[in-house]
Amino acid sequence: MIQYRNGDFFGEFSDDFFIEEVKLLIATSNKVPAILTPVRGLNKELAEIFSFIGFIFFPTVLTSTVLKKETAAGTYYVKIYHPIGMFKKLKERIAPKALRTFRKTFHAMKRGLKTPMPLGWCYLKREHKSILLTKEASGKSLYDLLIREKHVHYLTAIGLTNEDLIIKVAHEVASAHKAGIFFKDLHLGHIYISDVGIEFIDLDGIKIKRNLTESELARDISCLNDPDLPFSSKERMCFLIAYLEALQWNGIDKKRLVKKIEEFSLKRYKTWKV
Ligand SMILES: Nc1ncnc2c1ncn2[C@@H]1O[C@H](COP(=O)(O)OP(=O)(O)OP(=O)(O)O)[C@@H](O)[C@H]1O
Ligand SMILES: [Mg+2]
């Protein structure tokens, strides 16, 4: 990584190209300061300004701005964190969120988690905000694949049946849990599938621990039990069985864990489907 510092920002980058990209964002924000302010959902004016400098603007929550850029060397994502509230603003100055996620991502990768490679991070001195750069995940998110676009042919194209997919995801989540990774914000939109396998994106909230508690396991699993998934009770059950088998944790009370998953699912989706 290249360490870089100037009057506007400091950080680490995998390539000089990303330093120039941050300079471009800052130069644009000098003309249009609104590009570095929080916005909720889609904002046509900002999307247009970003498109002038080659970025595709993604509608997200107020606490982040997500941009995508396609280059000859590949597609990458930019995430600008907007700390909201006094505590988060203070924390951002002491330990920028982009740096925290950058470090946690490498830590999780060392423990075997598959996630797009971080390309850099930086802290904007004037705005007191941080930016994370990452490679694009391969393939499609499970949310796009199964719920939004209902892409039935994609799975066939990469040689998978529904059951293969369910077992693959169950195994990957169980190995992450066994490696001490609590996702905290796991959902179908954060899991990507392609012919090379599964990747997890948006690791901002992850916690890396020695052992996860039953509640933490249940919380992550319940987030995947979306009632809009076009899966039968048998397929949902297949997921749970594959997950519990792969977890292979002595001392875990499987019955109590399933009960907790049920409780969290009910809370999150107001419904419980298995
Ligand atoms: N590295 C990546 N590869 C592919 N897609 C990405 C990547 N990073 C972000 N995205 C896309 O941008 C969306 C928002 O990114 P992210 O989840 O990091 O932001 P967020 O602030 O948590 O937004 P949300 O609340 O929508 O999850 C993702 O759901 C995904 O569609
Ligand atoms: Mg997210």
**Residues 109-165 pLDDT 10s:** 999 999 999 999 999 999 999 999 999 999 999 999 999 887 778 888 888 888 999
pLDDT class of 250 with cuts at 50, 70, 90? confident
Q: Is the pLDDT of residue 77 over 90?
A: yes
**Cβ of 66 below 6 Å from ligand 1:** yes
CA-to-CA separations, 6 to 11, 19, 22, 110, in angstroms, rounded: 10, 10, 11, 31
Other C-beta atoms closer than 10 Å to the C-beta of 38 total: 16
pLDDT at residue 185 greater than cutoff 80: yes
> What's the whole-number mean pLDDT along residues 251-260?
89
Mean pLDDT, to the nearest integer, of 85-111?
97
Q: Indicate the pLDDT class of residue 177, thresholds 50, 70 and 90.
A: very high
Which residue(s) pair with 58 in the sheet?
66
Tokens standing for residue 111: 């423990």
Residue 274 has pLDDT above 80, yes or no: no
Provide the 8-state DSSP code for 60.
B
In whole angstroms, give the CA distance from residue 102 to residue 121.
7
Encoded amino acid at 195, one letter = D
Q: What angle do CA 43, 132, 95 make, to 5 degrees?
A: 115
Distance 76 CA to ligand 1 centre (A): 11
Nearest CA to ligand 1 atom 26: 60
- The single residue listed with the structure tokens 């077992």 is 167
Q: Is the CB of 201 under 6 A from ligand 1?
A: yes
CA 123 to chain centre: 20
What b/e string do you get for 101-130 counting C-beta neighbours within 10 Å, with b at 16 or more? bbebbeebeeeebbbbebbbbbbbeebebb
Q: Cα of 253 to ligand 2 centre, how many Å?
A: 31
Most confident of 81-85, 151-155, 251-255: 81-85
Provide, rounded to the nearest whole percent, the portion of the chain with pLDDT above 90: 82
Is residue 175 over pLDDT 90?
A: yes
Q: Which residues contact 154 (CB under 8 A, 6 or more apart)?
A: 140, 145
Q: Which pLDDT belongs to residue 159? A: 87
Phi and psi at residue 232, to the nearest 5°: -80, 170
Ordered by where they begin, the domains of the chain are 2-135 (no CATH), 140-269 (1.10.510.10)
Please report the pLDDT score of residue 57 as a whole number.
96
List CB contacts of 93: < 8 A, sequence separation 6 or more: 128
User: What is the average pLDDT across 220-226?
Assistant: 93
